[in-house]
Amino acid sequence: MPRVLLTGFEPFGGEAVNPSWQAVQAAAEHPPQGVELSTARLPCVFGAALDALRAAVAATRPDVVLCVGQAGGRPDVTVERIAVNLDDARIPDNAGAQPLDEPVVPGGPAAYFATLPVKACVAAVREAGLPASLSHTAGTFVCNHVFYGLMHLGATEHPGLRGGFVHVPYAPEQVTDRALPSLPVAAAAEALRVIAITAAGRDQDIRVAGGITH
């Protein structure tokens, strides 16, 4: 069976939970048939997150890596398309670091595209009755840092490794005192199962409109 590694993050920014890790754990509790699923929890710390990711890849030897992060304010599960070689932190990470205008990998390419069938993944989640869309920015915080680091790892150290990044909305418990969209962790977990199966089962993407005008 294809081996799929799912990663999520520890809480950050004063939050008590991180729905990315909650959803990864829930997905692993009831893994989809047809894939061998493993998980890893990453620190929300520049540099250390990539060290943890590299160790998890070495330990599990996956065919596909799907990193997951929290995107508070987004209303749906968003499959990321592009990782950029830029750390520009609006807030400090969990170790107090706040890099500004620095590369993730000095001398690395300006950007990497996900090597997963991103449009097919979005379509599959929607077909499962869950909200999803294609995203063209993973931000410039630790999520993008990990996304870019994952793609660089595949390009330089693990040829054939396919990977990508998914953002999930806040969990309902995080927005009880603020008017922001949320998604139950169970729904986010099901979306991750669908994406894992889709990513592991196909190399080619579907050709449908997924661009943006601004």
Q: What are the catalytic residues? A: 80, 143, 167
Q: Are 167 and 138 in contact (CB under 8 A)?
A: yes
Q: In whole angstroms, give the CA distance from residue 40 to residue 143.
A: 14
> In Å, how far are 69, 88, 129, 142 from 22, measured between CA atoms?
10, 26, 20, 18
Q: Are 197 and 100 in contact (CB under 8 A)?
A: no
Which of 142, 144, 195, 153 lies closest to 58, judged by CA? 153
Residue 159 sits at φ, ψ, to 5 deg, of -55, 135
